[in-house]
Amino acid sequence: MTASDTRPDGIPLPDLSERRMRPRDRRVVQAIALVCAMAAMLVIPWADETDLMRDSLKPPEKVTALPEGRIGELVGAKWKVLDRRTAAPLGDRQSGGDVVELRLKLAVRPSDAASAKAVGSYGLRYRFHDGDGRVWFAVGLRTAEPKAGVAMGITVKATVPRAKADELELHIQAPKETRKPGGPLASLRFSR
């Protein structure tokens, strides 16, 4: 005796056509899932790298602000503004131009060999800032090689607008090599 003899209507099989997705619908769902997975794979490393880049590109800054006549300390050396003058820029044949060369004479005394090396390095940055957020980069010219315990002069020069020359503040930023890991980058600001 067989199963067809005992059950005239046969063995009931589950209807699989109602439970399964059609092949086209399944491919559409797979394509959407693939697009979402690819987007997540692109965004997660980008978000992680953004935090890493922010830390390495713009380190936090520790600014020491003081008036021009006072003595400030940066990279283990004592700094003081001695003189502030304006002159016609180099190569300017006209006497009534819109720009002047701003010159600040600084006295610097490194306290030890490490600070003398930092004062003499190329990483030291000089900038003039106004109250509106504009910046003029400057060049520092040394009168002698820096030595520990010996005062020396540095002349900081920049070509700036004549109207702003009297109100600009000098910012001196320490070399990045002197920054301790995780610590702020030191800078000194002489205000008017």
Q: Are residues 35 and 102 in the same domain?
A: no
Alpha carbons 167 and 180: distance in angstroms, whole number: 33
Interval 35-79: pLDDT, tens: 999 988 888 777 677 666 666 666 678 888 888 889 999 988 999
- Give a yes or no: residue 1 inside a domain: no
Residues 148, 176 within the same domain: yes
| Structural domain boundaries, residue 31 | 16-57
Could you tell me the pTM of the whole model? 0.66
How many domains does the chain divide into? 2
Pair (179, 114) in one structural domain: yes
Q: Is residue 92 part of a domain?
A: yes
Q: What is the pLDDT of residues 135-191, one digit of tens each?
A: 999 999 988 888 989 999 999 999 999 888 888 999 999 888 777 777 788 889 998
Predicted pLDDT of residue 27 = 92
Domain edge (last residue) among 24, 57, 90: 57
Check whether residue 71 and residue 42 sit in a common domain.
Answer: no
